[in-house]
Amino acid sequence: MMEGLKVFRTRLSPTMRGAVARLRRWFYATHYSKVMGEAREISKENWAKLARLLVEKSNEMGVSDKGGRIILYYYIKDGVFIPVRAEIEVYELKLTGKFEITV
């Protein structure tokens, strides 16, 4: 049985590597640990393929050390995790102002 399209957004992370790590923890806690059998292994393969693409793309674009968040669109079909699309939001952390307080 195929459920509708679902969306998961990581919190804003200091680096894109951190965002991928958050996504990995979410995947293993929500999908991998709750499903047994063949669906579990297929889900793990799908996750590995997605993670590889996320890391390659963030390295290619030179944003792996910049702040960011990942928005993942996926389906669950018969207990199998099927990623459809991922959006990477990149944020540049910069100083916006400075002030001093004397006590």
Work out the percent of the chain whose per-residue pLDDT is above 90: 73
Q: Are 80 and 31 in contact (CB under 8 A)?
A: no
Residues 68-97, mean pLDDT to the nearest whole number? 91
pLDDT value at residue 34: 82
pTM for the complete prediction? Answer: 0.83
| Angle, CA of 96, 89 and 99, to the nearest 5° | 10
Contacts of 41 (CB under 8 A, 6+ apart): none
Question: Per-residue confidence at 1, pLDDT binned at 50, 70, 90?
Answer: low
pLDDT value at residue 3: 72
Alpha helices (runs of H) in 1-103, residue ranges in sequence order: 16-30, 38-61
